[in-house]
């Protein structure tokens, strides 16, 4: 394998970049291990379809606290929702899927 040289980055820059990536992976593993295996994770789009609302509405509900904090998690940048918790939320709030889209 040929030696690859990075002329625009110092060794310290590369070490910092690798550490950032490793820390991000560790945080993701911690989040994933705290979720029960049988609890399906849904994207915002899938979660909004499950509830019968728009993606904009589910984002607004999350930001306003209408959706409980334990019903979603951030893994890196994206937000994922617990299908089990969303279904519990929908059962306890019967008018959820009657909202405008």
Query: Residue ranges of the domains in the chain?
Result: 11-98
Question: Residue 100 above 50 pLDDT?
Answer: no
Torsion angles phi and psi, residue 86, rounded to 5: -65, -40
CATH 1.10.10.10 fits 11-98, yes or no: yes
Mean pLDDT of 6-11: 72
Is residue 88 over pLDDT 60? yes
Give the C-alpha distances (Å, rounded to integers) separating 24 from 17, 56, 79.
11, 27, 15
Whole-prediction pTM: 0.57
Whole-number pLDDT of residue 45: 94
Whether 18 contacts 64, CB under 8 Å: no
Q: What is the mean pLDDT of the chain?
A: 79
Share of the chain above pLDDT 90, in %: 36
DSSP string, 21-51: HHHHHHHHHHHHHTS-TTS-EE-HHHHHHHH
């Amino acid at each position: 394998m040929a030696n690859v040289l990075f002329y625009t980055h110092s060794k310290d820059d590369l070490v910092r970049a690798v550490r950032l990536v490793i820390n991000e992976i560790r945080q993701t593993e911690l989040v994933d291990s705290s979720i029960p295996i049988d609890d399906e994770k849904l994207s915002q789009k899938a979660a909004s379809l499950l509830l019968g609302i728009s993606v904009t509405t589910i984002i607004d509900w999350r930001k306003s606290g209408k959706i409980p904090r334990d019903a979603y998690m951030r893994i890196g940048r994206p937000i994922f929702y617990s299908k089990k918790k969303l279904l519990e939320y929908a059962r306890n709030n019967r008018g959820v899927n009657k909202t405008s889209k």
